[in-house]
Amino acid sequence: MHPMLLLLLWGSLTLMETWAGSHSLMYFSTAMSRHGPGEPRFITGGYVDNTQFGRFDNDSPGQSVELRAPWAGQVRQKELDEETRNQRNQAQWFKALLQDLRGLYNQSNNNGSHTLQRMCGCEVGPDGSLLRGCEQFAYDGADYIALNWDLRSWTPADTVAQITRRQWEALGRAERVRNCVQDRCLTWLHRLLELGKEVLQRT
């Protein structure tokens, strides 16, 4: 992986310190356009409390989610297949958004590589209830747009991101992300905490 990408991901990880007794499920995704034609490289890492449990790379054979923690091996095949489908869909969505951003920044004729990153997930308190959720994006290493803590509105980082905000407001993206945080993310976090409780829930 590119050293700058590792640095950016590490910076994001260090910012996600959980509150006392809380637990978080975070996904760090990166799409990198290639020189010339070809599908962008898409990589996602899944973390529970900064412990990686899974990884997806569309350059890997089979394009399937790979489990990275011993306790994660207890995940059912049905769940793994569902997450693989989700990540493949995400790869296509990132590809389209990356193309849109190159156009918005007048980079369509630029054959250089560009990078789109996303951090998203949820955090629960000691009683398992939702404390907060997040989704934020960076383009070519700079902040682009972020979902506010109310999970209902967006903060764009520049005038181009304001275009994306208007598009996403029209599409109701904040509501979809909010529903995902309150449903899928919470369910998956509770499931992983149960599977890895001997490691993840130690005091």
pLDDT in tens, 173-190: 999 999 999 999 999 999
For residue 7, pLDDT over 70 is answered with: no
Percent share of the chain, pLDDT over 70: 87
Number of domains comprising the chain: 1
Range of the domain at 98: 3-16+25-200
pLDDT at 4 over 90: no
Whether the per-residue pLDDT at 145 is higher than 80: the answer is yes
Q: Answer whether residue 84 shows pLDDT above 90.
A: yes
Of 120 and 20, the structure prediction assigns the larger pLDDT to 120
Q: What is the CATH number of the domain that holds 87?
A: 3.30.500.10
pLDDT of residue 13: 44
pTM above 0.95, yes or no: no
Answer whether residue 66 shows pLDDT above 90.
yes
- For every residue of the chain, DSSP letters joined together read --HHHHHHHHHHHHH-PPPTT-EEEEEEEEEE--SSSSPPEEEEEEEETTEEEEEEETTSTT---EE-SGGGGGS-HHHHHHHHHHHHHHHHHHHHHHHHHHHHTT-TT--S--EEEEEEEEEE-TTS-EEEEEEEEEETTEEEEEE-TTSS-EEESSHHHHHHHHHHHHHTHHHHHHHHIIIIIHHHHHHHHHHTHHHHT--
Mean pLDDT over the full length of the chain: 88
What pLDDT shows up at residue 203? 46
Give the mean model confidence (pLDDT) for residues 12-34: 74
When pLDDT is cut at 50, 70 and 90, the band that residue 8 belongs to is: very low
Mean pLDDT throughout 124-136? Answer: 94
